[in-house]
Chain A
């Protein structure tokens, strides 16, 4: 049975901020993921799955439980390392980046991995049973309603995402394996907030509302119906746009290393974050990296003031320090204009 087709990313109507944020993360994975805030039914998971389909095909080592690349010099799981050290030549097999979803009610052991109970009880051996973080390695981890997760769990996810490794010391096992993934979290702010500490760890943040303009809404429905009526045909009709986007992202990824970071742009970034009053330095780093990725996506070697402004709009909304006793009115645009 073939995999069900996903709604094409390029067929999504509107939601440009969300699409941009996701694309930037593909271009520069060190941007630390996206937090998508908005009501239900705003095409969040559709967008993420659609984008995953546009990522280039890659390879994984055969028999590896952690999706390691078939490259002895890469950051490998203990099993692959052992195999290479034993002189084995591990063949690669084709692999598509996928979206790993965190199930509702996931427990810690399910996420981190734990002692393989079956092997322990039936065979009397101690073995590590990989969890979701193992599956997520080299993939996209999608966490719906991240604000409703146990704080501890969110901590673990964000820590692993930042470090690129999952270190397990629990329930009888000690184990560590690579865990490099792009984290995409969604939440409805009316149902609760994330701790600022955790918010800050998400690179970009976008607010999505349902599509508002009447013609846009009609277009959304039209396309959805067309897709459901004949998925293959619909996907084919968007195939070219999809391939173009894939190429554009790949080109941007290559261009990024050549883009210089001039003092003026860094100055602008620093002025903005000082004006906004963000805590710490992650905001600064994210802003400049996002600006760089935007320039790269546009095929340019120069970062412009506008790039920085756009980056600020994506990198700052969730890092704004809430000042007590004042109305939460905050005009980012004023600040951006002032900092040019």
Chain B
């Protein structure tokens, strides 16, 4: 294995043409002080491990990262990971030209070599292909890239800081990747009107005459660059008093941050701040100032049992019972408020004091747990979007594979494999001789989508109106957040004799609004048909895209009274069918909508068990809770 220094290998060619080098100056950024600080800290101490910037679109994340590159000490560079980059170019391979022209396997380091002593910038890092991100992480950790392919084996230095940006609404980051970042900062668009105006003015000035604008800020840029360089030079001399170490430890502990890394980052960041401020030693105030940056992404999540277990302790009036004799409303009367206004109770219902007993007993049942999320923070939203290999040619090409599975041929990799063997094969003219063992196939990945089907009981049982309304609201808001176009939400409603697909799986809010305008309720409960219909819809969608992550959410009180086979007992038949509609990879979530009923809870539990699914009980069915639940349930994979 040989070590690469610049001279022996083909240099990875710097590709950006010089004319486009005018970059919006870092010091011209308006506001966003915390982000700017985080970036400067990482420039002062690269061992901090880089910064993760979380924010919505258009908040100057990329601009800041690119601007930072100009200020990076020791002439380090910012290398952007381009969209559509393939592994051979990122990590390294052999130089195809040398191989083709001379039959030599000349090592060609990947673009990570260009990031050595500098920064690797990854936009939308949460959407990065898993395999590639693992390789990059490995390099970041070791400061070295090792390449073994096409008959060569070499390594090259790649000591880089990572700057990543992401939009928290578009999915989580894997824990390994998350941990790799020393600091994390969440930014928002400027709300102050004056500052906002200044953002516009400056941006326009830059666009109208970039050279002049850059010149205007050049003195400021130089000043900051010098400051950073000086800080970097002094950092090793800065004293970290014991009191500060202890404080850092306490702060890290109070955030329940896992492991030592949090504390280390905290101290290093504080030290870098002290260096920037020309202090001889780190003060407790420095630690406090950087605490949020170092700990934002490291706070431990607490597991929490679903909220209503706690709500049980407080006094809640029991829900009116569902009386079969009550005439079902023919059309939804929107002026009704079915929740708590009626005071009828039936004999079967447990009165107030029995509630505690009932729920204590319920604790023994499998109740779904949910993880809390920091409000609005990046760990709560739509789950992680996994990029998975597709076997069907869709998606984008990330790397080549030697496995012959009948996929598209990766010509570049094939050529590379063929190249070193040309002389052996008796190549006489310029044509390349390719043989079967050379063939490489393209591995393509794409983000998997989720499929959520709501199956809503619209029968005459009490509360169906509310249930429908909440389900509709949940569908619309899930759609509003279905960022990947392959995410789809559909809805089935069941009442009377049948189940109907009232909203075919879609990611279009407009279509949903159209279809969901009138939601009729009333009639009996054909639960078995609902299950079958839901399964059909899932099957159809999976046939189109077998990498979908399907979830069926059944909202019902679990009391079927319309069997498919008129001679069968509705309940027995339901359980049979429930077992039948199971499918590997398909998750079921049963939402028992009938509050306060031991009987119905038990029914739903049995149903959930037969479906091999999970059960949740929501005493007051509110759309927000349902949405959160679905978002958290959806990424669960069954083994």
Contact = CB atoms under 8 A, between A and B. Distances in A.
Interface string B88-102: 111001001100110
Contacts of B12: 174
A113 to B, nearest CB: 10
B350 to A, nearest CB: 32
A78 interface: yes
Interface in B110-148: 111, 124
B189 A174 contact: no
B59 A280 contact: yes
A124 B510 contact: no
Contact of B100 (A78, A124, A152): A124
A267 B438 CA distance: 64
Contacts of B510: 189-190
B485 A30 contact: no
A168 interface: yes
B100 to A, nearest CB: 4
A155 B83 contact: yes
B485 A147 contact: yes
A152 B84 contact: yes
Contacts of B204: 261, 285, 288-289
B88 A171 contact: yes
B482 interface: yes
Interface in B165-193: 167, 169-170, 189-191, 193
Contacts of A167: 15-16, 80, 82
B617 to A, nearest CB: 21
Contacts of B285: none
B197 interface: yes
Interface string B455-492: 00000000000000000010011011111110000000
Interface string B2-17: 0000000000110111
B58 interface: yes
Interface in A306-340: 322-325, 328
Nearest to A126: B97
B412 A164 contact: no
A195 interface: yes
B207 A30 contact: yes
Given A267-B197, A281-B203, A192 B485 contact: yes
A136 B215 CA distance: 32
A168 B81 CA distance: 10
Interface stretch (A8-16, A115-123, A220-228, A294-302): A115-123
Given A169-B89, A325-B473, A193 B101 contact: no
A257 interface: yes
Contacts of B197: 263, 266-267, 270
**Which of A125, A148, A170 has the largest count of B CB atoms less than 10 A from its CB?**
A170
A19 B482 CA distance: 31
A150 interface: yes
Interface residues of B, number: 80
A201 B15 CA distance: 25
B542 interface: no
Contact of B432 (A124, A147, A189, A201): A124
Contact of B111 (A152, A169, A191, A325): A169
A70 to B, nearest CB: 16
B16 A280 contact: no
Contacts of B446: 150, 152
A202 B446 CA distance: 23
A123 B82 CA distance: 29
B85 interface: yes
Given A120-B415, A152-B84, A75 B397 contact: no
B485 A151 contact: yes
A305 interface: no
Contacts of A192: 485, 506-508
A174 to B, nearest CB: 5
B490 to A, nearest CB: 13
A281 B199 contact: yes
B84 A197 contact: no
A177 to B, nearest CB: 8
Contact of B17 (A81, A174, A284): A81
Nearest to B479: A193
B415 A324 contact: no
Contacts of B477: 322, 324-325
A197 B483 contact: yes
Contacts of B111: 169, 174
B96 A126 contact: yes
Interface string A173-202: 111101000000000011111111100110
Given A195-B483, A197-B483, A281-B60, A109 B101 contact: no
B623 interface: yes
Contacts of A196: 57, 169, 483
B88 A172 contact: yes
A159 B84 CA distance: 11
A48 to B, nearest CB: 23
Contact of A125 (B83, B101, B208, B623): B101
Contacts of B473: 324-325
A282 interface: yes
Contacts of A74: 19
Nearest to A124: B100
Interface string B236-268: 000000000000000000000000000000000
Question: Which 10 A-B residue pairs are closest in the complex by CB-CB distance?
Answer: A280-B58, A324-B477, A322-B480, A172-B412, A124-B100, A279-B56, A126-B97, A171-B412, A169-B89, A176-B15
Interface of A: 30, 74-76, 78, 81, 108-109, 112, 114-115, 117, 120-126, 147-148, 150-153, 155-156, 159, 163-165, 167-176, 178, 189-197, 200-201, 257, 261, 263, 266-267, 269-271, 273-274, 278-285, 288-289, 322-325, 328
Given A189-B511, A322-B480, 16 more contacts: A115-B96, A121-B432, A122-B430, A124-B101, A124-B430, A165-B16, A170-B88, A172-B93, A174-B13, A174-B89, A176-B16, A190-B506, A281-B59, A325-B473, A325-B476, A328-B509
15 contacts: A74-B19, A78-B17, A150-B446, A163-B20, A165-B16, A165-B20, A167-B15, A171-B88, A174-B89, A196-B169, A200-B57, A269-B200, A279-B189, A285-B203, A288-B204
